[in-house]
Amino acid sequence: MAFLSDTLARVKPSPTIAVTTRAAELKAAGRDVIGLGAGEPDFDTPQNIKDAAKRAIDEGRTKYTAVDGIAELKQAICAKFLRENGLTYTPAQVSVGTGGKQILYNALMATCNPGDDVIIPAPYWVSYPDMVYLAGGTPVPVVCGIDTGFKLSPAQLEAAITPRTKWFIFNSPSNPTGAGYTRAELKALTDVLMRHPHVWVMSDDMYEHLVFDDFEFTTPAQVEPGLYDRTLTCNGVSKAYAMTGWRIGYAAGPVALIRAMGTIQSQSTSNPSSISQYAALEGLNGPQDFLAENRALFQRRRDLVVRMLNDAPGIVCPTPAGAFYVYPDIGGCIGKTSPAGTQITDDEVFATALLEETGVAVVFGAAFGVSPNFRVSYATSDTALTEACTRIQTFCRGLR
Ligand SMILES: Cc1ncc(COP(=O)(O)O)c(C=O)c1O
């Protein structure tokens, strides 16, 4: 009898975590490493949120809570959906979990059967396909290249849907490309979904607050109210409120689905940390002005990185609408040889050579389902970004 499960054989560990680990190893060995791999803001959780957590501890809010979230937080989440997205939900339609990741995972675990397909536009967040595998379903990636701004077209969505399709996962702004769908682009996709009533929509709105220029964030159930009864609108405090370590994510959708997700959570992790829930409550109900400050900061960094990467020979870097990632194409580098003599055959080799030869850590595109590219997270200081991009330029100029 094999010790490890058959399910595990279909799943690979997160490549983004692998890159971060390798970069940390090199750093520990004394190398000068700049990590552009991590997907989290580089600044601290706002003080009012930290204070709320301290208060929660002092007030003894340290016991088990309701499995899928305290009532006050569910109320705050309903208020957030109404205020920011024009979506009306009741607390019974809301689930709170240990990060956005657990929320998505619970939903897939609660609904996927063998033979169920899940449509995932690629480039995708690395965890989607593996979570689908863990849940027993089959991921169906649909490649969206640089020519369409890494965005899915209505024709591609229509062609991907079959009687086996259970979910369509939608993520805008996107990890890893930063691509954001305009209201019109999203409406064109929801029009397709309206013709296929058996397809459920999982909208991952994690980067909602990180949008630039005059981009307007929208979410499927808002753009097409006809999808409300088969949409799970997912979000969380990790990225917007610089709370990645606190592990609070949430979603709203039909009561039956929310209850089923609660059952999965009740038999696995139970409630998310009580203290983190009170912190998230302050995040959602407290002052929101730092969101605009963060947006301005990230937009400046985006512009810096896009400009510098486009100056590197062999690299084409589109300007994304949101998140804190860029996803440059490195087609012009493939087939060349690095200064230390490595033949750049694909984006994984490129990223490894870049790390080993220059100390800049990025994640290779194959991890996200579209090559040859790499992902830069620009959630780090201007100084580090300028130095990293200068090294990338030098590396690319040295390719022969
Ligand atoms: C697109 C996307 N969805 C969900 C998550 C999960 O966020 P959390 O840290 O709240 O689990 C991430 C985190 O990287 C993400 O990039």
Beta strand 374-377 pairing with 325-326? antiparallel
207 CA: nearest ligand 1 atom:
1
Complete DSSP assignment for 121-175: EES--THHHHHHHHTT-EEEEEE--GGGTT---HHHHHHH--TTEEEEEEESSPT
In what side-by-side order are the strands of the sheet with 249-252?
A: 94-97, 249-252, 231-236, 200-204, 165-171, 117-122, 138-143
CA 100–ligand 1 middle distance (angstroms): 5
Express each pLDDT in 200-238 by its tens digit: 999 999 999 999 999 999 999 999 999 999 999 999 999
Is the model's pLDDT at 7 over the cut of 90? no
Residue 101: half-sphere exposure toward Cβ, Cα within 13 Å: 16
Pocket test for ligand 1, best of 125, 128, 177, 250 (most atoms within 8 A of CB): 125
Of 4-8, 67-71, 396-400, the one with minimum mean pLDDT is 4-8
User: Do the beta carbons of residue 344 and residue 337 sit within 8 Å?
Assistant: yes
Pocket test for ligand 1, best of 206, 217, 276, 324 (most atoms within 8 A of CB): 206
Which of 228, 239, 268, 235 minimizes the C-alpha distance to 106? 268
Q: Is 342 exposed, middle or buried (0-12, 13-18, 19+ CB in 10 A)?
A: middle
40 CA: nearest ligand 1 atom:
14
Is the model's pLDDT at 289 over the cut of 90? yes
CA 3–ligand 1 middle distance (angstroms): 30
The pLDDT score that the predictor gives to residue 309 is 98
Percent of the chain with pLDDT over 90: 93
Pocket test for ligand 1, best of 101, 174, 210, 243 (most atoms within 8 A of CB): 101
**Mean pLDDT across the stretch 357-363?**
96
Is the model's pLDDT at 149 over the cut of 80? yes
Q: Which helix (H) or strand (E) holds 251?
A: strand 249-252
Residue 30: half-sphere exposure toward Cβ, Cα within 13 Å: 0
Mean pLDDT taken over the chain? 96
Neighbours of 211 (CB within 10 A): 21
Tokens of 273: 């940390």
pTM for the full predicted model: 0.97
CA 245–ligand 1 middle distance (angstroms): 11
Nearest-angstrom CA–CA distance, 23 and 31: 9
Percent of the chain with pLDDT over 70: 100
- If pLDDT is split at 50, 70 and 90, which confidence band does 45 have? very high
Beta strand 231-236 pairing with 249-252? antiparallel
307: alpha, beta or left, given left = phi > 0 and alpha = psi -120 to 50?
alpha
Is the model's pLDDT at 20 over the cut of 90? no
Spell out which residues line ligand 1, taking CB within 6 angstroms.
39, 99-101, 125, 171, 175, 204, 206, 236, 238, 244, 249
Express each pLDDT in 94-133 by its tens digit: 999 999 999 999 999 999 999 999 999 999 999 999 999 9
The pLDDT score that the predictor gives to residue 19 is 78
Beta strand 94-97 pairing with 249-252? antiparallel
Q: Which residues contact 171 (CB under 8 A, 6 or more apart)?
A: 121, 124, 125, 203, 204, 206, 207
Which of 12, 210, 353 minimizes the C-alpha distance to 364? 353
Q: Three-state secondary structure along 185-248?
A: HHHHHHHHHHCCCCCEEEEECCCCCCECCCCCCCCHHHHCHHHHHHEEEEEECCCCCCCHHHCC
User: Do the beta carbons of residue 364 and residue 330 sit within 8 Å?
Assistant: no
Q: Which residues contact 18 (CB under 8 A, 6 or more apart)?
A: none
Is the model's pLDDT at 10 over the cut of 90? no
247 CA: nearest ligand 1 atom:
10
* Phi, psi dihedral angles at 249 (to 5 degrees): -130, 165
The pLDDT score that the predictor gives to residue 241 is 96
101 CA: nearest ligand 1 atom:
11
- If pLDDT is split at 50, 70 and 90, which confidence band does 18 have? confident
- If pLDDT is split at 50, 70 and 90, which confidence band does 14 have? confident
The dihedral sign for the CA sequence 101, 104, 108, 111: positive
CA 101–ligand 1 middle distance (angstroms): 6
Which of 292, 230, 235, 201 minimizes the C-alpha distance to 77? 235
The pLDDT score that the predictor gives to residue 21 is 83
Neighbours of 310 (CB within 10 A): 13
